[in-house]
Structure 1
């Protein structure tokens, strides 16, 4: 308060209604309406792949707190002389630091997601990596097993409580706002407006300033450094960099505006806390409006892809063959894109270009060489779980024993054992990629498909993995089920040494941490087609979202390489 809102000793206690105050009030209403509209759009489109990966609720919560502080400053010029002496102190000591803390907690999610997605970058990294066994017991293990958003909220929450404690402590020990108690010598004297001016600056404000300074000048640069090699297609890196840079000027300029006499003419129109509000505006642009633009861009890309597919299908139907499968020239184009070399033809007609974006082309890549697509989806598109899920289902289907597929009526012990083994692998696919309870990145399927799979796998998953995906197995006897969980033990049957070794191999197959095999009752709805609907849904999602980005990215890379090569040839020719 006080000089914080340009209150002077000769200021009159009343509402200031001049051109400057009316401008800031109108600006506050217009910008608030725009921010609310953008946040509403994001909430409505929250299931978009671009927003699902971001976890927008944490960032939007921070924007709400920051915007409350921003509104108080915009109306501060108009209402400053009427506000209580400690009003702005409490606003800056609570809304601003708590909003900044939540914002950078949300901002750090970028690094967390990028780190976790790396495990999907290769075909042999499909399984979930479980927590280290040495952290299995105690409060550290419980904390590590929590979701990332909850863990970061706990850490930031501790800091927020400490900040509010310091704000309350400064208010209690200082006599600026209460002359009857506090540290002697800290009070202010003189006319009311002179007191309000002095209440707007001093050492009592430093906890809130220090908090903002630490986040802006230590945490944000650390995030920038860690994200230097991440190049995603979601616009998330641009958002992270923009928000980090927009905070750097806030605290220094606030201090300059507050304590440098030469800034007095500027403060007549642009209050010292407006420098902090300027950074909040940029943060809202990068946090609210940039994701809105990314969502609309994704929708346009999806529409263009579907239109291209429709055009190609119409051309294919009109042809004599009437086949939608890839011809040799189209497969050559795809192989050249994957290998990074241009087609030997040197040019591609529109029909062949359209065929590259078709479902047949996607299935061709998934079948022949899914590695580049999987690496791109994990490291660039942050959707590696989709390709990993498709590869896992494909491998699961390809290894489904013919004895199970051909068996009818009464099944023998050998067939039942094979069914249990296949169900165990399917259960791991469900836990790794589908279940909201166990999967780190659950694939985006319809609620109907999810309910269907939940009805088959959820109960066995809870029996096998418990409330969280971590097996409580004694390291000394890793193949023995815990007491009371008899359904984890294979049924007793006479086995030779080879059969016993085979049972152990089945038990430890899959994820390196999945030591237990499910031997309970298998639902009747389980068969080799159990994942078909989810597979079709994810293929369609990849086709309309990741696949066109992948093709475009590789074409740009090839064209850039070709342009560079041509430039080098011209340079060599000139030198000769």
Structure 2
């Protein structure tokens, strides 16, 4: 039977410089270099669209731990007889399960992000949860550890859960080491010691029930957690390669634990173990995990950059043609082409520069934003961008003309209403604490933060507790909304305090910067321009390509695929 590092009774305490061991050393150097280059590439492009939602910090940390374990196994045939008998036990009992735990925390974000993005397909239900922890729409709840844990964001909860799992695994590894006499004869459970020559003892140290907790998490993830994730993501078809990554890692990990056990305990595998160590069945799954976690995202970033550059070239070509053609004719051409694309009557491709233009995108946003909204939320995981554009457009169209207001008090009321409406848009889409904040440059983000961030924290979180002695002492609220007026009785005071979280408005002073932006009407103009350009060069090309692919399917129209996906998303939720 085999052992973790291929040691048997006939092994000698020296380096095993055989062709097989030399091959594994060379392979280790080559593959480690490839993975290191890939990780550096991902770190450099960490702000790229395919990587922003992935949480590469967790995934790369998992890859590092798994790869360190992988290296120890690849060098097993070379140095196995020289390594201490308990060295590989500690490596496998810590690096492997901790790496799998971090990988699980990273990979589970896929379904979480996809489910959160589905809310952008239902505009009336978007404000179900706001940032800042203590929202105006959710009660504060208790102050116990469990209540505090429930109020944490998904990433923090995942890290805490995984952290406890890693501590539990380290505790189990240490417990196995203490209670077993395989690695020490002076203490432990009688009957667990090993006897024989030094190599016979080392061979017996390389297998046994003490090793099972180290591989438990690999089995748990590949046979229980991964199938659950795949089942939950069966209706998700993203453009980021995230689902492909999840499927690839899950399928490539199924064989690891069963074949590891077979290689250790089936005598017929002894011949194979001379060339392929039992733990290398686990390492084979690690190689595929690294391919799908490091190399596939590198390819997605490269493909995204190629499509981005192709889009920029088409935009430049469109603008050059626009200079030589009348503006009206150019706009009519773009409008006609995009209407044909949306109706499915003409097969449109991303190589058509009239489609890859800002007028074409604006035409869809004005006339039929639902299809683009559904695609960006269900497939591109960037639904916040289209939702922000449509929300700002609806908000601006609903604004009352300031010239029609003559009374100064009415003008002040109108300005206050504008500010609160804009504040809700800021909280949902722009604030750094939003679930999916839109991607703005530092200057524009700082400008909007100066206007909205402090009132947002006062309204939606980080506000002081209600003063039980002086309940009217609520900072930054100059007066209550007319719909919640109080006659001063103690009962009404408490009713007002409880309702504030459901229909609270900011009644403090409106910032001068907001007033200077056309009485607030133009406060989001620069942000809208930035987001439109981001959509034009990222989501829009993939949307056009998907419409073209849908048109190629026999018996389908361009919109049918999106209608089916939207219906499925609404049914699931």
Indicate whether the TM-score tops 0.5. yes
Write out aligned runs for 1:418-433 (5 A): 418-433=414-429
**Does the Cα contact within 8 Å between 1:135 and 1:141 map onto a contact in 2?**
no
> Which residue is 1:444 aligned to?
439
Pick one of 250, 253, 257 that aligns with 2:263. Answer: 257
**Does the Cα contact within 8 Å between 2:181 and 2:189 map onto a contact in 1?**
yes
**Does the Cα contact within 8 Å between 1:123 and 1:374 map onto a contact in 2?**
no
CA distance 1:182–1:399, shift in 2 (3 Å): same
Pick one of 474, 488, 491 that aligns with 1:485. Answer: 474
SS in 2 for 1:3: coil
> Which residue is 1:515 aligned to?
503
Higher normalized contact order (CA 8 Å, seq sep 6+, divided by chain length): 2
**Does the Cα contact within 8 Å between 2:169 and 2:213 map onto a contact in 1?**
yes
Q: CA deviation at 1:322?
A: 3.7
**CA deviation digits over 1:302-348, x for unaligned, max 9?**
111111121122222222x1447521x54343234334x314xxx77
> Which residue is 1:537 aligned to?
530
> Which residue is 2:240 aligned to?
234
Q: In the alignment, does 2:391 pair up with 1:387? A: no
Question: Hey, what's the Cα distance between the residues in 2 that align with 1:220 and 1:279?
Answer: 13
Question: Hey, what's the Cα distance between the residues in 2 that align with 1:21 and 1:215?
Answer: 31
Question: Hey, what's the Cα distance between the residues in 2 that align with 1:230 and 1:421?
Answer: 39
CA distance 1:495–1:224, shift in 2 (3 Å): closer
Q: CA deviation at 1:564?
A: 11
Question: Hey, what's the Cα distance between the residues in 2 that align with 1:98 and 1:18?
Answer: 32
Q: CA deviation at 1:562?
A: 5.2
Question: Hey, what's the Cα distance between the residues in 2 that align with 1:324 and 1:142?
Answer: 60
Question: Hey, what's the Cα distance between the residues in 1 that align with 2:249 and 2:21?
Answer: 28
Q: CA deviation at 1:258?
A: 1.1
Question: Hey, what's the Cα distance between the residues in 1 that align with 2:40 and 2:91?
Answer: 25
Write out aligned runs for 1:310-389 (5 A): 310-319=316-325, 321-323=326-328, 326-327=331-332, 330-339=334-343, 341-343=344-346, 353-389=352-388
Question: Hey, what's the Cα distance between the residues in 1 that align with 2:54 and 2:334?
Answer: 36
CA distance 1:435–1:128, shift in 2 (3 Å): farther
> Which residue is 1:504 aligned to?
none
**Does the Cα contact within 8 Å between 2:2 and 2:8 map onto a contact in 1?**
yes
Write out aligned runs for 1:145-164 (5 A): 145-164=151-170
Q: In the alignment, does 2:11 pair up with 1:11? A: yes
> Which residue is 1:21 aligned to?
21
SS in 2 for 1:136: coil
**Does the Cα contact within 8 Å between 2:384 and 2:429 map onto a contact in 1?**
yes
SS in 2 for 1:28: helix
> Which residue is 1:574 aligned to?
none
Question: Hey, what's the Cα distance between the residues in 2 that align with 1:304 and 1:8?
Answer: 59
Question: Hey, what's the Cα distance between the residues in 2 that align with 1:324 and 1:525?
Answer: 39
The more displaced of 178-187 and 144-153 is 144-153
TM-score normalised by structure 1 residue count: 0.87
Q: What CA RMSD, in Å, does the superposition of the two structures yield over aligned residues? A: 2.9
**Does the Cα contact within 8 Å between 2:350 and 2:541 map onto a contact in 1?**
no
Question: Hey, what's the Cα distance between the residues in 1 that align with 2:356 and 2:375?
Answer: 16
Question: Hey, what's the Cα distance between the residues in 2 that align with 1:92 and 1:207?
Answer: 9
> Which residue is 2:109 aligned to?
109
5+ long unaligned stretches in structure 2:
487-495, 559-573
> Which residue is 1:462 aligned to?
457
SS in 2 for 1:357: coil
CA distance 1:532–1:142, shift in 2 (3 Å): same
> Which residue is 1:572 aligned to?
none
Q: CA deviation at 1:66?
A: 0.4
**Does the Cα contact within 8 Å between 2:341 and 2:547 map onto a contact in 1?**
yes
Write out aligned runs for 1:238-317 (5 A): 238-317=244-323
**Does the Cα contact within 8 Å between 2:256 and 2:281 map onto a contact in 1?**
yes
The more displaced of 481-490 and 386-395 is 481-490
**CA deviation digits over 1:97-117, x for unaligned, max 9?**
010111011111000000000
> Which residue is 2:565 aligned to?
none
**Does the Cα contact within 8 Å between 2:551 and 2:557 map onto a contact in 1?**
no
SS in 1 for 2:80: helix
> Which residue is 1:195 aligned to?
201
Question: Hey, what's the Cα distance between the residues in 1 that align with 2:413 and 2:106?
Answer: 47
Question: Hey, what's the Cα distance between the residues in 1 that align with 2:477 and 2:147?
Answer: 24
**Does the Cα contact within 8 Å between 2:478 and 2:507 map onto a contact in 1?**
yes
Question: Hey, what's the Cα distance between the residues in 1 that align with 2:465 and 2:239?
Answer: 39
Pick one of 208, 212, 219 that aligns with 1:213. Answer: 219
CA distance 1:492–1:2, shift in 2 (3 Å): closer
5+ long unaligned stretches in structure 1:
475-480, 498-506, 566-576
**Does the Cα contact within 8 Å between 2:257 and 2:282 map onto a contact in 1?**
yes
Q: CA deviation at 1:135?
A: 7.1
**CA deviation digits over 1:132-183, x for unaligned, max 9?**
8477223333222212111011112222221111111111000001100111
Which structure 1 residue ranges, 4+ long, deviate > 4 Å from structure 2? Answer: 130-135, 347-351, 405-408, 471-474, 491-497, 562-565
Question: Hey, what's the Cα distance between the residues in 2 that align with 1:388 and 1:462?
Answer: 22
Give the aligned length: 533
Q: CA deviation at 1:291?
A: 0.5
Question: Hey, what's the Cα distance between the residues in 2 that align with 1:107 and 1:33?
Answer: 24
